[in-house]
């Protein structure tokens, strides 16, 4: 280590992912990020705590839906094809809500990226959060950067083995609880937890936990920044999202260069030097293994830990903070030209961000409107094809229909089935001993599709054609009085004549 | 071959093959590809040892595990049978009407009946049980021998005009024309009368002439108004359904030569539970009485 300043040590570190030193085919070079301190690090701790809490706690939240529906607040019930989200219940045919949410998430990501850059990558992406968590464990057991490098190079002593075993054990524990929490979104969490411990849970639960444990362990423990650089498509897409008014983590070279490790000496010698003391603190804390002073780069997830690191050093050497800062390209260009940075909060309002907000709001409001006015009753009718019609002894004709009434509320309901547009038609339900009637009442179990065979009878003399259109009207008796209808055909013999 | 030739531009060895001055590079296979290839070879050897793999003149090698997909099917069928055993026993022992009243058993019986129907009955009655000329439509409400659960069951068990079953259902309509009981003019008159009975267009004078012939020859079985008598298997002539066609020509043909449809006695082919399931299924098609 070389002392470069009165109080700043120069850290011996190379940016392993620097463009010049990177080949297309090369084994990963281990990165040992140093613990950071500062406001962005604090923010990241909070984001980590909140996102992890949401992930782990959500399946355990309860939400009372009455006796006929599960009481788990968020539940993806794949077996019964229902999705519950607090007061919302979604049936498979309502999956467009999920599509809408995905569109909102996509547009939201565009909006965030175009304004504050890769905030998703740097703060909330699960990969970032879990790598951060794994680093906490690593640091707790092996110490900070220098200790870890030393240990990595050290021969396999008992102490090293002990530390490695402890670290990997903790990692696997975290990885298992990651996969473990995931399955609770797909079944009643308390029941599944108990079954899981007793080895009575379905095999798919163990498989899922196993796969997610493996991916978490490998992605957060070993692959880390490689996931962002090589596997994730988002860093590539970001390029199209960012513009000159988006915030990115920027090294202000107009201020920092020429960098020098011997400030005082050079200043005394009258050589112009920049603010950068070339201490490499920004490189040492970087979890992506890059040198931000090389400029904007694909690998940078804008976690801002280098800003924290540099600010600490700037405080120490008595220079203003912000040598590395969140800046827009406009600011940077302006500063470089010796003018003040023009970016204010108004820079966030630009045509594209307005469009993003508008699209996001329109999709959101449309979904909300549909959600609030949606019907919890639907009816589908399938005309029997074999036989299409049945000639009855008294001269009337019978057609069979499979009527499916979708009762999408978690309560039993009774519906009145009526026929509109078929003069004199009567009907009966297969298996029922009741006589033919103009309307019949059918009970449907809570939250199920009531499927029934309905025989409709009509006099062909009263019909205008071989095929007549009519509608099945379904009306809820009592309750919300919901109604639905379905158009069907009634056929009589004579088509071939 | 002489010593390996190295391509100047790429630094890769060449195969020595040359076409018009272009030499083929001998680029080595990627390692991962090669190892995947080796792994598939190892896998294949293991597979051939464990599972049936090599075809012989009759059959094939059996494999160490003794696996057979036929055994799998047999096991699955056995499992399905064990699973249904309780329900099948119930269906076999309970009365037909009780089966129909029990929602679970009814559903089970209809499903089982439908599957037995598609194996044994569709050849004549059609996959939708809609029948055809000479083969009754089982969906409608006209029954030659009665449409109650028990009547349907009896028909199923003993069949119709089935030689070899003493309890089979038999009805014998005379061939009035062929046997010389009625002459052509009389047959024409009685056919007009039957058309009148079923409310179709007819020759009024001929129909009136046919009334006496009908009362004398037909009413004993078919009833005075042609309403039919299920106990003797005589179909109703007064309704809209005719097994062999309700037009004049078909009626004349029937009166002249009579009809003798046959249905096998399934009692000797199928077990009790299946027969009951079939009866419940046919009864459920919409015409059951």
The Cα A325–Cα A355 span in angstroms is 28
Q: Alpha helices of B51-179 — where are they, by DSSP H?
A: 69-93, 96-101, 103-120, 122-125, 149-158
Which architecture characterizes domain A377-491 according to CATH?
A: Sandwich (2.60)
Is residue A3 pLDDT above 70, yes or no?
Answer: no
Cβ distance of B130 and A430 shorter than 8 Å: no
Q: Are A418 and A473 in contact (CB under 8 A)?
A: yes
pLDDT at residue A84, rounded to an integer? 92
pLDDT (tens digit per residue) in A250-292: 999 888 888 888 877 877 887 888 889 889 999 999 999 999 9
pLDDT band at A23 (very low <50, low <70, confident <90, very high): low
CB B52, CB B61: distance < 8 Å:
yes
Please indicate if any CB of chain A lies within 8 Å of the CB of B126. yes
Per-residue model confidence (pLDDT) at position A295 = 87
Shortest alpha-carbon distance between residue B92 and chain A (Å)? 20
Asked if pLDDT for residue A26 goes beyond 70, the answer is no
> pLDDT category, A497, cuts 50, 70, 90?
very low
**pLDDT > 70? residue A247:** yes
- The predicted model gives A363-371 an average pLDDT of 93
B135-146 per-position pLDDT tens digit: 999 999 999 999
To test the contact with chain A by mutation, choose from B139, B226, B237 the residue with the greatest count of A C-beta atoms within 10 A, namely B139
Q: What is the pLDDT of residue A6?
A: 64
Q: Could you give the percent of chain A with pLDDT greater than 70?
A: 96
pLDDT of residue A21: 63
Tell me, yes or no, if the pTM score tops 0.80.
no
Please list the residue range(s) of chain B that carry CATH number 1.10.760.10: 71-167+263-283, 184-257
Contact A390 B137 (CB under 8 A): yes
- Out of A385, A392, A431, closest to residue B140 by CB: A392
Rounded Cα distance between A263 and A281, Å, is 16
Distance from CA of A468 to the nearest CA of B (A): 21
| pLDDT over 90 at A483, yes or no | yes
Bigger pLDDT: A326 vs A464 = A326
Quote the pLDDT of residue A135.
Answer: 94
Q: The tokens 């007549």 sit on which residue?
A: A468
> Does 1.10.760.10 match the CATH number of domain B184-257?
yes
Q: What is the pLDDT of residues A222-235, one digit of tens each?
A: 989 889 988 899 88
B71-167+263-283 folds as: Cytochrome Bc1 Complex; Chain D, domain 2 (1.10.760)
pLDDT value of residue A2? 47
Whether A496 has a pLDDT exceeding 60, the answer reads: no
Residues B186 and B211: beta-carbon distance below 8 Å = no
What 3-state DSSP class applies to A324?
strand
Residue of A393, A402, A459 to mutate, interface with B, max B Cβ within 10 Å: A393
Cα–Cα distance for residue pair A214/A171, rounded to 1 Å: 10
Tell me the domain boundaries of chain A.
27-241, 248-351, 377-491
Give the SS3 label for residue B138: coil
Query: What is the layout of strands, in order, in the sheet containing A74-77?
Result: A74-77, A82-85, A88-90
Mean pLDDT, range A115-133, rounded to an integer: 93
Q: Residue A1's pLDDT is what?
A: 44
pLDDT band at A19 (very low <50, low <70, confident <90, very high): low
Q: What is the pLDDT of residue A432?
A: 80
Quick check: B263 and B282 in contact, CB under 8 A? no
**pLDDT tens column, A401-460:** 999 999 999 899 999 999 999 988 999 998 788 888 999 999 999 999 999 999 999 998
Closest approach of A152 to chain B, Cα-based (Å): 28
- Looking at per-residue pLDDT, the higher value among A3 and A153 belongs to A153
Check pLDDT > 50 for residue A364: yes
User: For position A336, what pLDDT does the model report?
Assistant: 87
Low-confidence ranges of chain B (pLDDT < 50): 1
Cα distance between residue A203 and residue A246, in whole Å:
47
Furthest CA-CA distance within chain B: 117
What residues of A are in contact with residue B140 (Cβ under 8 Å)?
A: 390-393, 398
Q: ipTM score of the complex?
A: 0.76
Nearest by CB to B241, from A387, A391, A400: name it.
Answer: A391
Mapped onto helix, strand or coil, the DSSP state of residue A444 is strand
Residues of A with CB below 8 A from B142's CB? 392-393
Contact A395 B142 (CB under 8 A): no
Q: Count CA atoms closer than 13 A to A383's CA, side-chain side.
A: 20
């Amino acid at each position: 280590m070389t002392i470069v300043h009165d109080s700043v040590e120069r850290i011996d570190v190379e940016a392993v992912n620097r463009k010049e030193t990177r080949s297309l085919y090369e084994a990963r070079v281990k990165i040992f990020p140093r613990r950071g301190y500062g406001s962005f690090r604090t923010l990241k701790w909070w984001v980590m705590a909140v996102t992890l809490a949401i992930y782990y706690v959500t399946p355990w939240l309860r939400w009372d839906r009455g006796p006929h529906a599960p009481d788990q607040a968020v539940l993806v019930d794949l077996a019964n094809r229902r999705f519950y989200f607090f007061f919302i219940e979604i049936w498979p045919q309502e999956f467009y809500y999920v599509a809408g949410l995905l569109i909102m998430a996509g547009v939201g990501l565009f909006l965030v990226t175009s304004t504050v850059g890769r905030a998703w990558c740097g703060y909330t992406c699960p990969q970032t959060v879990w790598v951060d968590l794994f680093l906490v464990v690593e640091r707790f057991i092996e110490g900070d950067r220098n200790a870890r490098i030393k240990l990595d190079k050290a021969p396999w002593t008992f102490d090293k083995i002990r530390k490695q075993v402890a670290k990997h054990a903790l990692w696997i524990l975290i990885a298992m609880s990651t996969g473990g929490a995931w399955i609770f979104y797909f079944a009643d969490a308390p029941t599944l937890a108990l079954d899981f411990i007793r080895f009575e849970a379905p095999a798919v639960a163990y498989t899922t936990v196993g796969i997610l444990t493996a991916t978490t362990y490998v992605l957060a423990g070993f692959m880390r920044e490689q996931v962002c650089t090589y596997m994730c498509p988002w860093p590539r897409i970001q390029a199209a999202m960012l513009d000159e008014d988006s915030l990115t983590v920027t090294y202000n070279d107009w201020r920092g260069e020429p960098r020098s490790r011997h400030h005082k000496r050079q200043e005394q010698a009258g050589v112009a030097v920049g603010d950068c003391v070339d201490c490499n603190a920004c490189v040492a804390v970087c979890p992506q293994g890059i040198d931000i002073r090389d400029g904007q780069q694909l690998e940078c997830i804008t976690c801002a830990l280098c800003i924290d690191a540099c600010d600490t050093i700037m405080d120490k050497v008595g220079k203003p903070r912000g040598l590395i800062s969140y800046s827009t390209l406009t600011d940077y260009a302006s500063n470089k030209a010796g003018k003040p940075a023009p970016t204010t909060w108004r820079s966030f309002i630009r045509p594209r961000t307005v469009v993003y907000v508008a699209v996001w709001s329109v999709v959101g409001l449309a979904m909300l409107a549909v959600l609030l006015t949606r019907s919890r009753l639907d009816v589908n009718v399938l005309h029997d094809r074999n036989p299409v019609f049945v000639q009855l002894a008294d001269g009337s004709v019978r057609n069979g229909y499979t009527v499916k009434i979708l009762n999408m509320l978690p309560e039993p309901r009774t519906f009145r089935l009526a026929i509109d547009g078929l003069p004199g038609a009567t009907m009966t339900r297969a298996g029922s001993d009741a006589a033919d009637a103009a309307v019949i009442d059918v009970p449907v179990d809570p939250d199920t599709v009531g499927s029934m065979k309905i025989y409709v009878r009509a006099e062909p003399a009263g019909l205008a054609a071989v095929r007549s259109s009519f509608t099945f009207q379904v009306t809820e008796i009592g309750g919300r009085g919901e109604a639905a209808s379905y158009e069907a055909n009634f056929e009589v013999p004579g088509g071939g004549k | 071959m002489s010593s390996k030739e190295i391509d100047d531009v790429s630094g890769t060895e060449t195969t020595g093959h040359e076409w018009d001055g272009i030499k083929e590079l001998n680029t080595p296979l990627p390692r991962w590809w090669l190892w995947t290839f080796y792994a598939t070879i190892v896998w294949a050897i293991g597979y051939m040892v464990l599972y049936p793999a090599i075809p012989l003149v009759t059959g094939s090698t059996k494999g160490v595990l003794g696996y057979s997909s036929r055994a799998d099917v047999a096991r699955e069928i056995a499992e399905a049978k064990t699973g249904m055993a309780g329900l099948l026993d119930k269906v076999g022992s309970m009365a037909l009407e009780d089966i129909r009243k029990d929602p679970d058993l009814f559903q089970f019986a209809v499903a089982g009946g439908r599957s037995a129907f598609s194996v044994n009955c569709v050849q004549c009655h059609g996959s939708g049980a809609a029948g055809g000329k000479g083969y009754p439509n089982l969906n409608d409400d006209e029954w030659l021998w009665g449409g109650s659960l028990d009547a349907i069951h009896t028909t199923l068990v003993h069949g119709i005009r089935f030689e070899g079953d003493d309890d089979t259902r038999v009805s014998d309509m005379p061939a009035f024309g062929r046997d010389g009981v009625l002459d052509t003019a009389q047959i024409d008159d009685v056919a007009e009368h039957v058309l009148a009975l079923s409310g179709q267009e007819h020759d009024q004078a001929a129909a009136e002439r046919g009334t006496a012939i009908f009362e004398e020859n037909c009413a004993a079985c078919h009833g005075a108004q042609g309403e039919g008598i299920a106990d003797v298997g005589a179909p109703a002539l007064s309704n809209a359904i005719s097994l062999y066609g309700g037009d004049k020509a078909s009626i004349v043909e029937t009166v002249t030569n009579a009809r003798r449809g046959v249905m096998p006695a399934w009692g000797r082919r199928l077990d009790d539970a299946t027969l009951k399931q079939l009866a419940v299924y046919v009864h459920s098609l919409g015409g059951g009485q």
